[in-house]
Structure 1
Amino acid sequence: MTKDAVTAEAPQAAQFGFEADVAQLLELMTHSVYSEREVFLRELISNAADACEKLRYESLSDERLAAEAGAPLVTIALDKEKRQLTVADNGVGMSHDELISALGAIANSGTRAFLDKLGQEGAGEGASLIGRFGVGFYSVFMVADLVEVATRRAGDDQAWLWSSQGKGTYSIAPLALDDAPKVGARVTLHLNAESDEFLEPWRIENIVREHSGAVSTPIDLIEEPGKEPRRIADGQALWTKPKSEITEEQYTDFYRQLSGSFDEPALTVHWRAEGRTEYTVLAFVPGSRPFDLFEPSRKSKSKLYVRRVLISRDVELLPAWLRFVRLVVDSADIPLNVSREMVQKSPVIASIGKAVATRLLQELKKLAENEPEKFATVWENFGSVLKEGLHEDPSRRDDLFAIARFTSTKSDGETRTLKDYVADLRENQTAIYYITGDDATRLATSPQLEGFRARGVEVLLLDDAVDAFWVTNALGFDGKPFKSVTQGAADIDAIALLDDSKEETPPAADVGDLVAALKETLSDAVEDVRVSTRLTESAACLVASEKGLDRQLARILAETGQKGLFGKPVLEINAKHPAVAALAASLREKGREGAADGLHLLLDLARVADGEAPVDPAAFAKRLSALIAKVA
């Protein structure tokens, strides 16, 4: 039954089926063994704390709800005799329809993404994936045979009982108000035989301390029926405490709760800004890549609080190129009654976001200078995202250049800074040279690099998609422009060869005839043919014309349907190469028609070396077969 088929006025108990993806998820939950089953408690506490925050927010504009809202509280109760664990909150609660939408279906692709990821990584990684994909509630079925949710929506005069054994169906029935929470929700787990550990107070306290100790709602524990509750988490928002009173473990616990992951933060930044706008920031750079790092939306998701009241859990405070940062901002200078829709248009929010981005770049620069090994890991995980800022945010380009790291022909498996590059410029070198593509290993063997390598000129190997864009609009670094080795003439004759004995000699006279024949024969595929100054070992290569787009950028744009708008490449030949000399001799002896196969093969070989298919694969195979037959 779909959500639209049931109305909030339904007075009778009803049975429902989970959506297909949820049913499959429950099957995994109840029949698989995960290494960290305690994740269920973290998820329940997180949901309860969110419900309390939501009630606080709604009560700001509804006096009726304000009268119902008490001090936020999450209570965990244990009953060994009945084998029950209960997590209750005095938050906003759920209506009949909200129970269906929240606990019977996932409104986005989270469940399917989780199932796909679980299939890739295996059950052993399941616990760490649960929180990352927004399917946390269903983790209760790892430890419970029956789950009941008693709830009453704040402001409603009806209460409901949701129940399920996690076997494909659930039911919702009216609940007498005397048996329901006054407001909020009470989740009761009837634990299975393998989950005795979660009836032990010490175990619950350890889990809360490890996973939820920094949650901004107090947590009480009732160790057994009739016993007084005991406070096991004070509910003081971590970011409001002085840094001197916070341990690294507490920062890590809060980061894990905020990010829904189990790694440790690579960088923690906590500060209070004062001045025209006052706010507190607690930011984390993750220790590993979030699963959604390259989502098409590329949105940053930060939590925004106003005087500890959650206004938005996914405000776009930071630019897209800092979207990996996990962030909490709490300000007293934003009106409490600001709508979530207006948050993105607020000039105060824009000002805070700009200042936070500046501070984060400063902290990353400090990390790069003081802890280069740790920064190297950060760059490995997020460098391709940070480089998006080089293209999208020119005002930050100098700051990003200061922390950017690149693989190059001299980096030997490590990375180099632009400062390192400029310090090693060869005499008469006037540009920073680069080559773009999608594989640094293949780029390092590109024929276009041969002349640069022979002269000891370092070339940046740029293998991220965004590299093809930012280098086209960046003016340069330290007065040196960026120049592609696959675009225009090499222009490196003024730089001396490392080995003088390999000084180039003028090409043979009949190479001019070969160039002319290549131009005429290949005119449909290339714009021009010329003798190369960049090749020393290969017979031929392809480059973009001086006014054309870089070869990699042209490929990327062609994939978007803009093929053919950027002109044809230039074919460069190595006049000293034996194959080129042999082809020139063949042209002299047999004429253009007799040497036609060789002319086409030379172009196809250049395309293959550039990672492209021959112009006509079938004709290429035929010509190559004929050549092999002659040699054999």
Structure 2
Amino acid sequence: MPTETLEFQVEARQLLQLMIHSVYSNKDVFLRELVSNASDALDKLRLEKLRDDAPDADVSDLHIEIDVDGDARTLTVRDNGIGMSYDEVGQLIGTIANSGTAKFLEELREAKDAAGEEGLIGQFGVGFYSGFMVADEVTLVTRRAGEGHGTRWTSRGEDTYTLEPVDDAPQGTSVTLHLKPADPENQLHDYAAPWKIREIIKRYSDFITWPIRMMPESSAAAGEGDEAPGPETLNSMKALWARSRDEVSDDEYHELYKHIGHDWRDPLETIRLQAEGTFEYQALLFLPAHAPHDLFTRDFRRGVQLYVKRVFIMDDCEALLPPYLRFVKGVVDAADLSLNVSREILQQDRHIEMMRRRLTKKVLSTVKDMMTKDQDRYATFWREFGTAVKEGLVTDPENRDTVLDLASFASTHHDTEPTTLKAYVERMKDGQDDIYYLTGESRQGIENSPHMEAFRDRGIEVLLLTDAVDEVWADAVGEYEGKTLRSVAKGQIDLDAKDDDSADGEREKQTEEYAGLLGWMTEQLDEDIKEVRLSSRLTVSPACVVSDAGELTPALENMYRAMGQEVPRAKRILELNPGHQLVKGLNEAYKEREDRTSLTETAELLHGLAVLAEGGQPKDPSRFVRLMADRLERAL
């Protein structure tokens, strides 16, 4: 097969240019990423060998090797892991097969500090390209385990790269960086210096479970007849989760997290768990400080790493934590599982289920501790991951009460500080039986909703829920500590005192006064609404639309339809404000038997205004605009 010269994917080309012209303060990121890639390749080969998927592969001495040539200014990171085929090199290196590429590029350009920039490199899974921060040219030679021929990939980071087959490639992958000229004024970043390589590996990759070897400097100068010293192992290879807390520093934990989570930021919290008895396992989990960009996408890779007796089994083991904790990273090392356990087996294993339950409770209890002991850290966690955690209110009934206790929500009690349900209940007014909430797309939109008017006038606190999941969990949960969760946009709302006889008498009088109009409007708007009635929740607006107590809101209907579930569109209820001059005038016009066509159009406009006020759209926008323009013209 002849040498091919191919063009980079557009996104890959843009990314390369950002790397080449990088101004990162810490370019050490490139070596950490290449070592992590090599470690992953070794893990994959050992796993395939255990499952007998790579019977011809050599696993007798799996390791990572680093070669430095100061004279030629080259640095090579080599592994004897799974390797890649010719097609895989083209697919994985020539393009960026990542749905978040555009988002990555945008965030990379907008990163305001060095830590933010570095964090983006690993987070988006494009660590290989970071080699171009320190190299003018990169050469990759690889052979997939079990195959007879290898592949060479070469690029100077411009518009193209070359691919060619090679016959003598060893098993695994080697990446050779042709380093940029040394900077005499910055010797601390000379990546052709062995001492610099030792420093980077010790700082960032000491915990890697495979030996990272480098030939000592003296080996190149060994004379004839001298015995060349053997390679130097740069890392300790100690599993941090198997060591006592006193033996491990926070920095070491943080570096393990960065390796596992492909994140250059420190984790927000480190969680250790050791279970002994009939089923033994150790867990080292991390809560990130920032939500990944693709947390709510279908392609998000969730789950923690699973080991059995310190042997890597699989990445992203989804069975160990529920989906709403998908952002948690870490390692679980079990003593009593089979080495060739599959994902299908894990879903049925009772030990895995037991681990999942305990790990879930440990993560939630850790968040709850943060809530009581460190409000700032809790606030960071909830801002980044609260939307995901609230999914557990629907999907995890066993831990629903715990999630409710640690959740916080925006409310009318404070402009910026969220509240817990417990604090809300403590502030409830005398005689108040319900916890009131309203869902919407934004806080401003909710606060301006006509449904809020009576609550604002009476100083009754309302939770302001703006996440899509809020539409679902509030109905599913139903109550908290005996208090009903109640939407201010559903059902009848009566905020008057229960023993207020004068209020009851006034309502009866109004109902009788407007009975004719309400019945007539119900008939006229029959296609769109099920009932027209007087409202006790409006003080300023003329009308609003509400859902019946047991029905889906329009937002929830749309959500189900977006997921491919067809649901019938429920008719809603139109409520009128009997104290508003427009409603009063409409009632007088109805009693005086004025032009019914004009009255019908006014009723349509009133309904359309109510729909618009809650962020919806009239059924026939063009007709609504035409009627409104006609009325404005007459008014002038």
- Of the three residues 303, 306, 311, the one matched with 2:305 is 303
* Aligned position for 2:601: 597
Gaps of 5+ in 2: 184-188, 221-228
* 1:59-138 equivalences in 2 (<5 Å): 59-60=49-50, 68-96=58-86, 98-105=88-95, 109-110=97-98, 113-119=100-106, 121-122=108-109, 124=111, 127-138=118-129
Q: Map 1:327-338; keep pairs closer than 5 Å.
A: 327-338=330-341
CA shift for structure 1 position 384: 0.7
For residue 405 of structure 1, report the CA deviation from its aligned partner: 0.6
Quick one: distance in 1 between partners of 2:465 and 2:4?
A: 57
Letter in 1 for 2:70: K
Deviation at 1:213, TM superposition (A): 3.4
Matched, 1:455 2:458: yes
Contact 1:431 1:481 (C-alpha < 8 Å) held by counterparts: yes
Instruction: Note closer, same or farther for the CA distance 1:495–1:467 as it changes in structure 2 (3 Å cut).
Output: farther
Determine the C-alpha separation between the residues in 2 that align with 1:430 and 1:371. Answer: 32
- Once the 2 structures are TM-superposed, how far is the Cα of residue 549 of structure 1 from its aligned partner? 2.2
Given that 1:255 and 1:265 are in contact with CA atoms closer than 8 Å, whether structure 2 keeps it comes out as yes
Question: Aligned to 1:449, what secondary structure does the other structure show?
Answer: helix
Alignment of 1:535-614 (within 5 A): 535-559=538-562, 565-589=568-592, 590-614=594-618
Conservation of the 8 A alpha-carbon contact between 2:453 and 2:538: yes
- Provide closer, same or farther for how the CA distance between residues 531 and 158 of structure 1 changes in structure 2, counting only shifts above 3 A: closer
User: Aligned pair in 2 of structure 1 residues 546, 65: CA closer, same or farther (>3 Å)?
Assistant: closer
Q: Pick from 180, 185, 198: which aligns with 2:191?
A: 198
- 1:269 Cα deviation from its structure 2 partner: 0.3
* Inter-CA distance 60–596: structure 2 relative to 1 (3 Å threshold): closer
The code of the aligned residue for 1:87 comes to V
Checking the alignment, whether the CA contact within 8 Å between 1:484 and 1:550 is kept in structure 2 is no
Q: Which amino acid is 1:621 matched to?
A: V
- Tell me how many residue pairs correspond in the alignment: 610
Answer yes or no: is the 8 Å Cα contact 2:557–2:569 preserved in 1. Answer: yes
**Which is worse superposed, 345-354 or 566-575?**
345-354
Is 372-381 or 224-233 further displaced after alignment? 224-233
Q: What's the offset of the Cα at 1:552?
A: 3.2
SS of corresponding position for 2:286: strand
Per-residue CA deviations over 1:298-326 (Å, capped at 9, x if unaligned) read 66321111122111112112111000111
Q: Compared with structure 1, are the counterparts of its residues 299 and 436 closer, same or farther at alpha carbon in structure 2 (3 Å cutoff)?
A: farther
The change in CA–CA distance for 1:67 and 1:580 in structure 2 (over 3 A counts) is: closer
- Partners of 1:299 and 1:148 lie apart in 2 by 29
Q: CA deviation at 1:347?
A: 2.8
SS in structure 2 opposite 1:290?
A: coil
**Structure 1 residues 232, 516: closer, same or farther in 2, change over 3 A?**
same
1:247, CA displacement in angstroms?
1.4
- The residue type paired with residue 623 of structure 1 is L
- 2:68 aligned partner, one-letter code: L
Shift of 1:375: 0.5
Of the candidates 37, 41, 44, which is equivalent to residue 54 of structure 1?
44
Equivalent in the alignment of 1:7: none
Following superposition, the deviation at residue 469 of structure 1 comes to 1.2
Give the Å deviation of 1:163. 3.5
Opposite residue 114 of structure 1, the aligned amino acid is T
Q: For 1:238-277, list aligned pairs within 5 A.
A: 238-277=240-279
Q: Residues 56 and 145 of structure 2 are in contact (CA less than 8 Å); yes or no, is this contact kept in structure 1?
A: no
> 1:629 is matched with which residue?
633
Q: Deviations over 1:312-346 (max 9, x none)?
A: 11211211100011121111111123345533443
For residue 261 of structure 1, report the CA deviation from its aligned partner. 1.5
Amino acid at match of 1:80: G
Which deviates further from its counterpart, 63-72 or 612-621?
63-72
Give the distance between the partners of 2:256 and 2:389, measured in 1 at CA: 24
CA RMSD of aligned residues (A): 3.1
Question: Partners of 1:194 and 1:515 in 2: how far apart?
Answer: 85
- Give a deviation string over 1:334-371, Cα, whole Å, max 9, x none: 11233455334433222212221111111111111111
Tell me which moved more, 116-125 or 378-387. Answer: 116-125
| Structure 1 match to 2:432 | 429
For residues 194 and 259 of structure 1, the distance between their equivalents in structure 2, rounded to whole angstroms, comes to 32
Structure 2 residue matching 1:415: 3-state secondary structure: strand
How far apart are 1:120 and its partner, in Å? Answer: 5.3
The reply to whether residue 20 of structure 1 matches residue 19 of structure 2 is no
Gaps (5+ residues) in structure 1? 1-11
1:411 aligned partner: 414
The DSSP-based 3-state class of the residue aligned with 1:78 is strand
Match in the other structure for 1:285: 287
Which of 233-242 and 513-522 deviates more? Answer: 513-522
Kindly indicate whether the alpha-carbon contact (under 8 Å) linking 1:432 and 1:481 is maintained by their aligned counterparts in 2. Answer: yes
Give the corresponding residue for 1:214. Answer: 207
Change (3 A) 1:239 1:298: same
Is 1:617 the counterpart of 2:621? The answer is yes
Aligned equivalents of 2:627, 2:86: Cα separation in 1: 73
Is the CA contact (8 Å cut-off) linking 1:149 and 1:185 kept in structure 2? yes
Deviation of 1:129 after TM superposition, in Å, equals 2.6
Amino acid at match of 2:625: A
Q: Go from structure 1 to structure 2 and tell me whether the alpha carbon gap of 1:225 and 1:438 turns closer, same or farther (over 3 Å shift).
A: farther
Relative to structure 1, the CA distance from residue 337 to residue 520 in structure 2 (aligned partners, 3 Å threshold; closer, same or farther) is closer
Q: Which has the larger displacement, 611-620 or 549-558?
A: 549-558
Equivalent residue number for residue 296 of structure 2: 294
TM-score (norm 2): 0.87
Match of 1:3 in 2: none
Relative distance call for 1:298 and 1:485 in structure 2 (3 A) is farther
Of 168, 185, 208, the residue aligned with 2:173 is 185
Query: What code does the residue aligned with 1:118 have?
Result: L
Q: Are the equivalent residues in 2 in contact too, given 1:94–1:152 (CA < 8 A)?
A: yes
Q: Does structure 1 conserve the Cα–Cα contact (< 8 Å) formed by 2:268 and 2:287?
A: yes
Seen in structure 2, the aligned counterparts of structure 1 residues 631 and 90 have a Cα distance that, compared at 3 Å, is same
Structure 1 contact 114–129 (Cα < 8 Å) conserved: no
Tell whether the 8 Å contact from 2:439 to 2:465 is kept in structure 1 after alignment: yes
Change (3 A) 1:299 1:400: farther
Q: Are residue 514 (structure 1) and residue 525 (structure 2) matched?
A: no
Indicate conservation of the 8 Å contact 1:544/1:550, yes or no. Answer: yes
Q: Distance in 2 between matches of 1:400 and 1:257?
A: 29
Greater mean alpha carbon deviation, residues 200-209 or residues 486-495:
200-209
Alignment equivalent of 1:477, drawn from 476, 480, 490: 480
**Partner Cα distance (1:62, 1:555) in 2:** 48
Change (3 A) 1:625 1:524: same
Query: In the TM superposition, what whole-angstrom CA distance separates every residue of 1:453-501 from its partner, at most 9, and x where no partner exists?
Result: 333322221111111112222241111222221111113333699xx9x
Aligned to 1:42: 32
Q: How far apart in 2 are the matches of 1:267 and 1:457?
A: 37
Identity %: 36
